[in-house]
Structure 1
Amino acid sequence: MPMAPPLDFETLTIADIARLAEGDRLPPVERWHPTHCGDSEMRIARDGTWFHQGSPIGRQAMVRAFSRILRREPDGGYVLVTPVEKLDIAVEDAPFVAVEMKVDGDGRDATLAFRLNTGDIVTASAEHPLRFVEHDDGPHPYLHVRGGLEALVARSLYYDLAERALAGDDEPPGVWSAGAFFPLMP
């Protein structure tokens, strides 16, 4: 089945984004519990690049397909799971990267939608919170995607978030999206 051409995130409205996210049905990986089968020989680099046996996976359609069967295990590990097999996959930081942001509104009325490197779209909200973690090289923002899976928010988007937070009147500084507040620092 041919894949639809990628959407131009820039031209989508927040309402368009909400409709797309609602219509995107994922496989029920949380209900699949096959016997562990081994290692997928795959890893996801910190920059969101997917590798198999040390080589980058160049076909975006393959990356998207694999990302849809990715699951976080209770022990914190990651697996690719189908109804009949479960394979470990190494993840250097977060399995996704938020690469583009669309903002509608300001302050408490703002909605922040993110396009991930896999093409998925996630709106920051109480169900999909943003969190900021301090690392040696500075703060790293993460967006909850689903089932314990997160997206590292690209550094350029972090600067946009920080600018929004510092322009607001909230104490501590933070950003609002879909009625939820996310402080820049815990």
Structure 2
Amino acid sequence: MTHDPNGAPPGGVLERLTAALRADDPAGAEGARRGPPPVERWNPDYCGEIPMRIAADGTWHYNGTPIGRPALVKLFASILRRDPDGRTVLVTPVERVGIEVEDAAFLAVEMAVEGEGEGRSIAFRTNVDDVVPLDTDHPLRFERDGEGGFKPYLAVRHGLWALVSRALVYDLVDLCEEREVAGARWFGLAAGGRFHRIMPAAALS
């Protein structure tokens, strides 16, 4: 099978997905849309998996080859969701296909901060240019990494999460503090009207 030297995947199922989006939005799949695709309302039959993978570093691959066109990656990211069974799928009004996600669907690569304490506002930009505020609808969760540290993830949309890049982790740590919560000391981050608990303070020693 041959591949476009610019990183565009070959035809077939991806061509059908793109065509379905153009039919749904006459403005064009890679042009300006009236708004984000309403993937939460689309429930076509599941058509199986395709050889697409989102690597841990956020790179999208098709048949083992990186997709080098940012507009195409953003297109597919716009129709991505996580189904209740845990499967990550690309979905259009007529087709739903599963893909592999090594870690998180997105990366948070930029952060803007204003204010202090619970009144602090934080917003993130992802690698596909979603701008996501840290708030009740878009909380942080934390997981331990293999080195004993922690990996923050930000809720983005449709059950999908963004891994906060390592460079931003250091910026987040600078904003963290210890607080007593329900009788226990916690290390965490105050923002978006709440205290985001990361780990028990005792685990820092």
| TM-score calculated relative to the size of structure 1 | 0.82
Query: Rg larger in 1 or in 2?
Result: 2
Give the deviation of 1:103 after TM superposition: 0.4
In structure 1, list runs of 5 or more residues that go unmatched.
5-23
What secondary structure sits across from 1:143 in the alignment? strand
The secondary structure found in structure 2 opposite 1:126 is: coil
Identity across the alignment (%): 52
Match of 2:52 in 1: 42
- The equivalent residue for 1:126 is 136
Q: Give, in whole Å, the separation in 2 of the partners of 1:25 and 1:155.
A: 31
Aligned to 1:183: 197
Q: Which digits, 9 at most, give the CA deviation of each residue in 1:21-75, with x for residues without a partner?
A: xxx9321111111111222211000111001111111111111110010010112
* Alignment match, 1:73: 83
Contact 1:111 1:176 in 2 (8 A): no
> Which residue number corresponds to residue 10 of structure 1?
none
2:11 — aligned with what?
none
Tell me if the contact between 1:94 and 1:149 (Cα under 8 Å) persists in the aligned partners: yes
* 1:12-161 correspondence to structure 2 within 5 Å: 25-137=35-147, 138-161=149-172
Name the SS of the counterpart of 1:163 in structure 2: helix
Distance 1:62 1:150 in 2: 20
Q: Assess if the C-alpha contact under 8 Å between 1:122 and 1:145 holds in 2.
A: yes
Structure 2 residues without counterparts, runs of 5 or longer: 1-27, 181-185, 201-205
SS in 1 for 2:100: strand
